[in-house]
A and B are shown apart, each in its own frame.
Chain A
C-alpha cells in the first residue's frame, strides 16, 4: 500500500511539474506517463476521462489524478495523487507572485509582467475561439475538413453574448440557459 502511494505521488508530481500552459497541451504528457509507461489506465479509460472532464468541473490533471488515485489506492490514493499533482505549480506560482511583488519598482520586471498579461489575454482569446469553433463546427482547430455549421450553437452564443454585454447577467444563468437551449434544440 505504501509503495503504491509513493508511486502515485511520484508520477503525479512528475505530471504536475512538467505540464505548463494548461488546457489541452497536457493531454499527451498524461497519456505518455499513465497509459504507456505505467499502464495505470487503458487508452479507453483515458479517453473516457477526457470526455468526463469536459462535462464535469475541474482541470483535466486534477480529474485524472482523482480517478487514477481512487482506482489504485482508494480515497487516500486520490488525495495523495491530487496533492502531488498541484504542489510544484502552487509553490512556483506563489514564489513568482512574491518575486513580482518585491520588484514593483523595477522598470524591466514590471514591463515583463505587462508582457505576460498581454500573453494571457492572447492565450485565453485563443482558447475562447477554440471552444467557439468546437461548438459551431465540431472541430477545435482550424482545418480544411470543417464542413458543418451549427446554427443553433451560433444562436445560443449570440444571445449569451448579448445578455452578458448588455445586461451583465451572471455566468451561472448564461450556462443554465445554454444547457436548456441545448436540450430543447438537439
Chain B
C-alpha cells in the first residue's frame, strides 16, 4: 500500500472508513474486528499486532475510541491528510443516519421487527467481539510473558465482575508497568 500514490491511499482510506463506520453497531468495540478485516486482512497494510498497539493508544486518549483509531490508522497510511480524511469518513455515516432518524425515531424505537432484528444481531455481535478477543489474547500469549496474561485477566475481572472504571484501570496499569519496567531495567544494568 505504501508504494501506491497518495490519492489512491486517501481514496482507499475513505472507502474503508465509510464501510467500517456504517457497520460499527453496538458500542465502539465492533471497531476492532472491523478494522482487522479492512486493514489487516483485506488491505494487508499492517499486522494485527500493530493494530492492537494503535487501539491501545486510542483507548488511552480522550474521546471516542473508534474516531481516535481512525485517525491513527489514517495517519499510518497517508500522514496527516490521511488522518483528517479518515476522521471525516468515520463521522459522516453516523451524522447522516442520525439526521434522517431524528425525524422519525419514535416509530423506529417502538417497531417490533426492528427490535427483534436488533436482539438477534446483538448476540451475533457478542460472538464477533469474543472472536476478536480470542485473537488478541493469543497475541498477548505469544510474547510468552506471564505478566501480560495476568494483566488481561485482572483487567477483565475488574471491569466485568467488579465494574471498575476504565480510566482508573488504564492509569493504574500505566503506573504499575512504569514502576515494574524501571526496576527490571535497573536490574539488567
Contact = CB atoms under 8 A, between A and B. Distances in A.
Q: Do A and B come from one complex?
A: yes
Given A131-B126, A142-B161, A174-B127, A67 B170 contact: no
Interface residues of B, number: 110
B48 to A, nearest CB: 11
Contacts of B76: 97
B60 A96 contact: yes
B124 A157 contact: yes
A108 B189 CA distance: 13
B144 to A, nearest CB: 12
B123 A120 contact: no
A113 B133 CA distance: 18
The SS class assigned to the A binding surface is helix
B166 interface: yes
Contact of B102 (A71, A94, A123): A71
Interface in B57-107: 57-69, 71-72, 75-76, 80, 83, 87, 91, 93-95, 97-99, 101-102, 105-106
Contacts of B59: 21-22, 116, 119-120, 123
Interface string B106-143: 10110001111111111111111111111011011001
Contacts of A122: 151-156, 158-159, 169
A179 B83 contact: no
B37 A170 contact: yes
A52 B101 contact: yes
Contact of A90 (B68, B159, B161, B174): B68
Contacts of A17: 62-63
B22 interface: yes
Interface string A95-126: 01100100000011001111111111111111
B13 interface: no
16 contacts: A22-B59, A59-B28, A62-B95, A63-B94, A67-B102, A79-B95, A97-B75, A112-B181, A131-B126, A157-B126, A172-B23, A181-B120, A182-B117, A183-B116, A186-B115, A186-B120
B71 A112 contact: no
B62 A20 contact: yes
A178 B124 contact: yes
A100 to B, nearest CB: 7
B178 interface: yes
B71 A94 contact: yes
Interface of B: 21-30, 32-34, 37, 52-69, 71-72, 75-76, 80, 83, 87, 91, 93-95, 97-99, 101-102, 105-106, 108-109, 113-134, 136-137, 139-140, 143, 145, 147-149, 151-156, 158-161, 163, 165-167, 169-170, 173-174, 176-178, 180-182, 184-185, 188
Q: Kindly name the residue among A62, A93, A112, A117 whose own CB sees the greatest number of chain B CB atoms within 10 A.
A: A93
A1 interface: no
A55 B121 CA distance: 10
A90 B87 contact: yes
Given A85-B64, A127-B27, 14 more contacts: A21-B167, A57-B25, A97-B54, A107-B185, A113-B57, A114-B145, A115-B176, A117-B56, A118-B140, A132-B130, A164-B128, A177-B124, A178-B125, A184-B120
